Amino acid sequence: MTYDPDNVFARILRDEIPSDRVYEDDEFIAFRDIAPAAPVHVVVIPRGEPATSPDGLGEADAGMVGRLVVTATRIAREQGLAERGYRLVMNCGEDAGQTVPHLHLHILGGRVLGALG
């Protein structure tokens, strides 16, 4: 899938759409999801034009993805989720529930989330 520079996350990065940002650095931004699936639901996205989903990642992306996960765990701690636990989710494609074609990671927590499967 080709990257769409007008996807909602690209527009958030350009400040064309407001977001409730909880974290920002030179590589990533994180903001509260507008349709939260848990009491704490933060989305972490890379700046620029990353792969549209995890399926588009390659070896060259390994460092960025590692930093994405480390950044998400730091944000989870800052949001008070570390003691009780939280879930990190990356959806890949429509069948998995991916709605925005821009690589992103969800941080979910603040209640018992239940087992997967």
Residues designated as active site: 104
Between CA 29 and CA 94 the distance in angstroms is: 23
The torsion region of residue 46 among left (phi > 0), alpha (psi -120 to 50) and beta comes to: beta
Contacts (Cβ under 8 Å, ≥6 apart) of 2:
52
